Structure 1
């Protein structure tokens, strides 16, 4: 089974745009070049990219290098619709063909936390992911001390499957997929 290239250029919610990262955008941001983002009319959010984003970009590049073009199962920028500021990222670490699952991660810059943006973005990316009927499960992990992430995952009906070395591991099964089997 081959995952096809993404057929859309963004996902839209009430307050957000979710736009896939590309290798050129990642490389340029790592080198302090935001011209690709400016061409898209995007602005850097206050203190974006933060250290978490800069640490994540090489992994995003690695995931994107495994596919001819973004499939949607890599990472997306979180952009505020009203100001076009980039305030975070979310996405997946690629598609696991054997288990037919994807592992989600997300982050919002400190200045924009506790405003519901992570919830809005995660809800939309889950909806999009499960619209692809070959996804059986979305997994996630967070530090045990990260109560906000744990609460968000629980809100979306993720089930905690184990706790190990200060980490919590979660699973969300695609009911549509299970109904087809």
Structure 2
């Protein structure tokens, strides 16, 4: 398990025990692992992705950090949302970040705080050359977070806006890796 810390949050990679508890949506299992959940986590999209993240952990024999993390409020131990990447860097060094906050914890800056920390971590990883994100046109909250983090729109289609993070540490030259 990997852990990063912000002012208010612990960011922790998922392990198989937490994936299994999330797959069962089992509050008692979360408690046994040291977390609290009000039942909002995992959300539908993340719940559907659990088999993918389980397979990634098994294939990699643990985490490399380019998978899923939970956001945990340090004061309450509440799981307030999830964040992470959709797998290891591709051959061009590109990774994709995604995030979601539980409805009861939205509009409190958790996504921005967690994403900034994870972007800082990822930009220091040798194999990462670019970081991308996607969101739907109607998702104003995610668009706001991405803009605040410094992402720039790279292109869009009828359903999705594609973003690029141009501020990698180490002076990596960042262009639009999608074109």
The alignment's TM-score, normalised by the length of structure 1, stands at 0.86
Q: Are residue 140 (structure 1) and residue 133 (structure 2) matched?
A: yes
Aligned length: 172
Corresponding residue for 2:177?
Answer: none
Give the CA deviation at 1:46: 5.0
User: 1:70 and 1:177 mapped to 2: Cα distance?
Assistant: 26
Q: Is the 8 Å Cα contact of residues 14 and 68 (structure 2) preserved in structure 1?
A: yes
Among candidates 155, 162, 176, match of residue 170 of structure 2: 176
Q: Is the 8 Å Cα contact of residues 18 and 78 (structure 1) preserved in structure 2?
A: yes
Change (3 A) 1:51 1:146: same
Structure 1 segment 16-165 matched on structure 2, within 5 A: 16-34=9-27, 37-165=30-158
The alignment's TM-score, normalised by the length of structure 2, stands at 0.87
User: 2:171 and 2:91 mapped to 1: Cα distance?
Assistant: 15
SS of 1:41 mapped into structure 2: coil
Corresponding residue for 1:15?
Answer: 8
How much is the aligned-residue C-alpha RMSD, in angstroms?
1.9
Q: Is the 8 Å Cα contact of residues 20 and 72 (structure 1) preserved in structure 2?
A: yes
Would you tell me which structure has more strand in proportion to its own residues?
1
Unaligned 5+ segments in structure 2 are 174-179
Give the CA deviation at 1:36: 5.2
